[in-house]
């Protein structure tokens, strides 16, 4: 049973435009949500997080939105840069982190 | 400050063998968790150790085991290897709780032939 799902395996965006990565979850007990970025041959690195009591958190070009009623979160990257090309994982926390399958983001110059 | 260090980075084993992977967490981090990454499955939680005690365990068979030493270093062991165990095994550490921001190592890439 996949409690955290990223339904888009890949996303392609032009440099300077907005990238929107989506994530759905099923367990309403999750209390914290995070996004990680992973480059090939490296471990995932933490990007941004949001508590379940909030609906938005911003950090520079990155904004995470949480819609608890829809059990949906999204990551917005504005403006997108070629260096943002990586695999993005959403994760949800209760006692341990549960990760989605990842979305490959490609930002074209 | 040194990051999370995993050894070996790459290894090849045959079915039926066993393997031990090692993880040295960031200095001061007492929680170490392990994840398995396979194509299409994302990162699946294996287990978490805190102060030498297994605190959480994922849905993996008993062939997967781990331990943590008094210096917070951790090892995981997979016995009777199967082809499906081929994966990237990631170790992550954090100060206290296995929630929130984890610091990952680069992983150990296991290939089972």
Kindly report, residue by residue over A35-86, the tens digit of the pLDDT.
999 998 889 999 999 999 999 999 999 999 999 999 999 999 999 999 999 9
| Residue A11 DSSP SS3 | strand
Chain B touched by A89 (CB under 8 Å): yes
With 60 as the cut, is the pLDDT of residue A25 above it? yes
With 60 as the cut, is the pLDDT of residue A104 above it? yes
**Which of A3, A4, A96 is best to mutate for the B interface (most B CBs within 10 A)?**
A96
Confidence class for position A94, pLDDT limits 50, 70, 90: confident
- Flag if A96 and B41 touch (Cβ within 8 Å): no
Q: What is the pLDDT of residue B98?
A: 53
Contact yes or no for A48/A64 (Cβ under 8 A): yes
Which A positions 14-43 lie with beta carbon below 8 A of chain B? 31-32, 34, 36, 41-43
Q: Of A21 and B98, which is predicted with more confidence?
A: A21
Proportion of chain A above pLDDT 70, given as a percent? 99
Set of chain B residues whose Cβ sits within 8 Å of the Cβ of A7: none
Distance of CA A20 to the CA centre of its chain: 9
In chain B, which residue's Cα lies nearest the Cα of A35? B101
Q: Which residues are B35's β-sheet partners?
A: B45, B90
3-state secondary structure chain B: CCCCEEECCEEEECCCCCEEEEEECCCCCCEEEEEEEECCCEEEEEEEEECCEEEEECCCCCCEEEEECCCCCEEEEECCCCHHHCEEEEEEEECCCCCCCCEECCCEEEEEC
Which residue among B41, B99, B107 sits closest to A43, beta carbon to beta carbon? B107
With 90 as the cut, is the pLDDT of residue A13 above it? yes
Confidence class for position A96, pLDDT limits 50, 70, 90: confident
Q: What is the pLDDT of residue B42?
A: 80
Which residue among B42, B58, B107 sits closest to A100, beta carbon to beta carbon? B42
Mean pLDDT across chain B, nearest whole number?
92
Confidence class for position B1, pLDDT limits 50, 70, 90: low
With 70 as the cut, is the pLDDT of residue A1 above it? no
Contact yes or no for A69/A2 (Cβ under 8 A): no
CA distance A15 to chain B (A): 26
CA–CA gap between residue B45 and residue B94 (Å, rounded): 15
Set of chain B residues whose Cβ sits within 8 Å of the Cβ of A34: 100-101
Residues in chain B: 113
Contact yes or no for B55/B67 (Cβ under 8 A): no
pLDDT tens digits for range B79-106? 999 999 999 999 999 886 655 789 999 9
CA–CA gap between residue A47 and residue A19 (Å, rounded): 15
**Which of B41, B99, B106, B109 is best to mutate for the A interface (most A CBs within 10 A)?**
B99
Give the pLDDT mean for B64-74.
96
CA–CA gap between residue A85 and residue A81 (Å, rounded): 8
Chain B touched by A1 (CB under 8 Å): no
Comparing CA positions, the residue from B84, B85, B70 lying closest to residue B21 is B85
């Amino acid at each position: 049973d996949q409690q955290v799902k990223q339904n888009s395996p890949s996303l392609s965006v032009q440099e300077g435009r907005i990238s929107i990565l989506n994530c759905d979850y099923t367990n309403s007990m999750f209390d914290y949500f995070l996004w990680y970025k992973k480059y090939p041959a490296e471990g995932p690195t933490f990007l941004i997080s949001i508590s379940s009591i909030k609906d938005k958190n911003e950090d520079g070009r990155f904004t995470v939105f949480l819609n608890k009623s829809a059990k949906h979160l999204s990551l917005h990257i504005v403006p997108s840069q070629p260096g943002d090309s990586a695999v993005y994982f959403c994760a949800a926390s209760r006692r341990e982190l549960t990760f989605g399958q990842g979305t490959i983001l490609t930002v074209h110059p | 400050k040194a990051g999370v260090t995993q050894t070996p980075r790459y290894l090849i084993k045959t079915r039926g063998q066993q393997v031990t992977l090692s993880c040295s967490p960031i200095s001061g981090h007492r929680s170490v968790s392990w994840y398995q990454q396979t194509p299409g499955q994302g990162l699946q939680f294996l287990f978490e150790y805190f102060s030498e005690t297994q605190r959480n365990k994922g849905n993996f068979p008993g062939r997967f085991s781990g331990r943590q030493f008094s210096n917070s270093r951790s090892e995981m062991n997979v016995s009777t290897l199967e082809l499906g165990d081929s994966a990237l095994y990631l170790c992550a550490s954090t100060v206290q709780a296995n929630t929130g921001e984890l610091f990952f190592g680069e992983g150990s890439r296991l290939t089972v032939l």
